[in-house]
Structures are given as structure tokens and as C-alpha cells.
Amino acid sequence: MKKVLIPTKLDKVAAEILRKHGGYVVVQDDSVSATEDALLAFAKSHPDAYALIVRSERVTPALIDALPSLRVIIRAGAGVNTIDTRYARRKGIDVMNTPGANANAVAEEVIAMVLADMRHIVKADASCRAGQWEKKAFMGRELAGKTVGIVGLGAIGRLLARRLSGFECRLLGYDPFVSPDLAAEHAVTLVDLPELFAESDIISLHVPENEKTRGMVNRELLSRMKPGATLVNCARAGIVVEADLRAVKAERSIRFLNDVYPKDEPGPKSVADIADLMLPHLGASTREANATAARRAAEQLIDFDDKGITSYIVNRDIPEGLDRAYADLAFRLTRFCRALSGSDRPLKMIETSFYGALKPFASYLLVPIVAALDETFDRSMDPAAALKVLQNRGIEYTDRVTDDSKGYRNSITIDLTVDRGGGVLRRTSVRGTVTEGALMVSRVDDFHKLYIEPAGNLVAFSYRDRPGVLGQIGAMLAGAGINIDDVRNPHDSKGEMSLAILRVNQPLSADVVERIARQISADIACSVTL
């Protein structure tokens, strides 16, 4: 019998499923997780525990060391930032999560907050209880017929779209990693962020907080919002620039509904002066979400033990026999290719080619490719999970049969097809390899023999070949205070087009890239930090 510890307020269904299976003994104590010391003491009293199921409890190296027989940690929820996954891997412990278990709860919370705000539910209740009768003061608005912008069309965003369908709203969406066809299935029209913010009466955020999204909702976007429009943040606090929101709210009377903070803890909240409605991070706090996460945690543990299903492991090691450099190569080639193709363009198709000794690892190498495209996907997940992400986003995937007689040795080719709008599709192709331990891009489209390392700050421009263009690019970079560290400038096979790829000493702003592109009439213009 394998011992499973559940030191958290988790629905009892997890323990029931595990006990019914017959292969587990379950110890559940709802009061243990009150403090880290209590959790550590509890662990030390069960050194023979095989599995640990937690919610938001911190799983530290000390806690892991107190459980020498531990082999599996399951987070009954999506985020694993409270678990030291790297230390767990060093100890041979698999860490899993249950993504999507809380999605419906968050989607419904958004609608609840919007309706409560539009009909003044909270203030009207307090007023009525105080014996007042202020019908004129609480004149409300209707959700029906409004334009709702959904930033992020993952599990929560798509469920929100489905829940809003009954309100007869016009739905706009922004998510470069969702195909237009899939968005259309949910009655969502894909647009860029500036258009979404300008057109929407209500905007709901559903993206993770990372380097790309941190501070994405800034003054430039907020200033586009309609006067009196509503911003809902049930995602992460760092996505919104608080100072910018405070300033624009004063100018345009924006409504702000908030459920997320830098830290989940008691005490004053910095957004209290600008939030029209604020909740204590209740997104996942429903009995149903708790039960769903508990059920999935138990079922995943059983599937892992009985069937060897590893789809939800988030700290998987590199497969034996594969040089980690090639996983990094796949990741960086994809990031570079995505920038070249237009990172804001909906992705329709991914095609890959793996040559030489990389062929047996084709399925694994899809993992870093998907992680490069979708920052919500962890590189330590398994190939089945990567395929599922693509299927859920409506993106086609093909791994082509390769011919080693071409002499590409251990190379990787990534082709991305994006929707340019108006039914126009565009394919961008990048090939690379590892040479003497260094990652190299060898080809972009019809530009061969590049041999530039996909690292640092890269900027790329393609343009009709003519004298003096590279000098113009260099001069404009210098004018912006940018120094060039490396450059490649090949022609295509017809001698008609040139490609300039430059490594520079600092990231380029979109404004600088756009100015150079206009000056040289560039066909492709992008910058990316790898």
C-alpha cells in the first residue's frame, strides 16, 4: 500500500477515489497547512509517504527532505510556483499539476463581477439594508449587446466566451497562439490588442504573468479604452501597470474590477483607491473547482502508477541519449521563426523536420517547440501534453519524413504558417544545428549559410537588394544608441532579396524597428531576445 498525504483543505473525493482503488492508504488533515512549521512536522511524522497532494502550500527542500520515500507531488490546481520543482527533480520526484480544473470557476467569477458592477449589487445591498431607497442612484447598465474583449483564449478565455454567448455579446479576442477557425467556433473574432482595447466595452484578462506579459496593459493600451469601459483582472496583478491605470482611470472614468494581488495575504491593498470592486482572489474558490482539482489529482496519480501516463508531469528530465543543446536549439529556432513570421499573427500550422540522430527524439523535441510558442506551457511537460495544447488551439502539426542524404546531419527545420488576414497565409522556415557546442541558425527561408547564433538581442530585416541598405540600418541603430555586435547579410538564391540579421547590445523597441522598416521598405522586420 502506498501512503498519500493530503495536508490541505481539499475535497474528500480525492481520498475516496484513492481508497476505493485499493492500492493506497490516505492521510488527510485539513488543519496542517496553516503554517510551514506545522506542515513540516506533519511530514516528519510520515516519512514513508509515497505521494503528496497540495493546493497552495509551499513545498520546500526542507519539506521534501523530510519525506525520504516521496516519489510524486501533485498540485491540485495549475500553478506550481509554490513547489521547488528543480529540487524535486534532483531527488527523483515527479511533480504534476491539474491544469484547467479551475477554469470554469474563474470564467463564472468574471461574469459575476461584471454583473455586480453594472447593476451596483454590492452598494445597493448595503444601502437597502440601511433602510434607504435609492433607485435613481443605482441606475444600472445591461450586459446584453455589449462588446467584450477577451485577452487570452486558453481554457478560461474560451469558457468565458461560451458563458457570454447567452448574453448576446459581441466577442473580440486576442491570442496569437489560437487559430482563427478555433476562435470562430467560440463566436470570437481575433483582433490585435490595440483594436480590442479600443472597441470593447468590457475587457477581461486571462494570460499568465511572465516576461512577455508583465506590464502589457499600460498607458498606451488603457488610453484607447472607451470612457466608462470596464477592465477585469482575474489573471495576475503584474499584467497591469497600476500607476498607468490610476492615471487613465482619472481621465476616462474606467471601471476596474480586480481579484488578484502581488501577494495573497491580509493587509491594505495598493489598488484599493482605483478598484471599483475587489475580491480576495476567489477565482478558484468554488466547491466544484475544489472537487474537480481533487478528482483529477487522484485520477492522475492512479493513471501514473497503473498505466504509466506522464502527461501532467511538469519537471521531466531530458530523455536519455539526447543532447540538451538540441532541445534548446528547437526552442530558440521556434522563437526566432515566430518573430520573423509575426508574433501577433494567428498561428495556423507547424511543420518540423528532424535529421540524423535527432529522428528518434522527434516527439520529445515538440515540447520545447510548443513551449517557445506558448509561454503558459512548461518545457518539462511530455509530448502528449504538447500535442494536446496544439489540438486545443486548433493548430495543425506535421512532422515530415526526412532524407539524410541531403547532408543536413543533426539539424532541425521549423516551418510556421500564420494567417496574415484576408485569407492570406504565410510560411516562414528556419533551419539550425549545433556546431562545436554552439547553437547556429543555418537558413531562413531562401537565405542560406547564415551561421549566426540564436542568442542575445537579434533584429532582422528582409528587403529588395540594393546598395547602401545595410549602411542605412547601421546608421539608424547608431542614432538610437544601439551597438552592433554581429551581422549576417546574405542574398536569396535569385539575388533579388537580402536579409540582414544583426545581434545588438540591447533590446530594440518596436518604434525603432518600425522606423527602420519604413526607411528601407522592409518586407520583414522584427526583433527578438533569445
CATH number at residue 43: 3.40.50.720
Does residue 453 lie within any of the structural domains? yes
pLDDT < 50: residue spans in the chain: none
Angle CA 358–361–363, to nearest 5: 130
What pLDDT does residue 210 have? 79
Same domain, 107 and 37: no
What pLDDT does residue 422 have? 77
Does residue 316 lie within any of the structural domains? no
Is the whole model's pTM more than 0.85, yes or no? no
Helices (H) and strands (E) in the chain, counts: 17, 22
Same domain, 124 and 151: yes
Does residue 183 lie within any of the structural domains? yes
Same domain, 374 and 433: yes
Same domain, 492 and 381: yes
- Strand residue runs (E) in 181-260: 188-190, 202-205, 230-233, 255-258
Same domain, 163 and 32: no
Same domain, 16 and 29: yes
What pLDDT does residue 379 have? 79
Q: Is 398 helix (H, G, I), strand (E, B) or coil?
A: strand
Does residue 315 lie within any of the structural domains? no
What pLDDT does residue 33 have? 65
Each residue of 254-289: b (16+ CB within 10 Å) or e?
A: bbbbbbbbeeeeeeebebeebbbbbbebebbebeeb
Q: Which three cell numbers stand for residue 462?
A: 528582409
Same domain, 72 and 119: no
How many residues in total does the chain contain?
530
Same domain, 391 and 333: yes
User: Which residues fall within 8 angstroms of residue 351, CB to CB, at 6 or more apart?
Assistant: 397, 398, 399, 400, 414, 415, 417
Q: What does the alpha-carbon distance between residue 438 and residue 504 come to, in Å, rounded to a whole number?
A: 18
Does residue 313 lie within any of the structural domains? no
- Report how many domains make up the chain: 3
Same domain, 413 and 487: yes
Q: Which three cell numbers stand for residue 476?
A: 539608424
Same domain, 82 and 206: no
What pLDDT does residue 134 have? 93
Same domain, 109 and 72: no
Same domain, 91 and 128: no
What pLDDT does residue 398 have? 95
Does residue 422 lie within any of the structural domains? yes
Give the domain extent around 38. 2-101+287-307
Does residue 319 lie within any of the structural domains? no
- Alpha-helical segments (H) within 398-509: 469-479
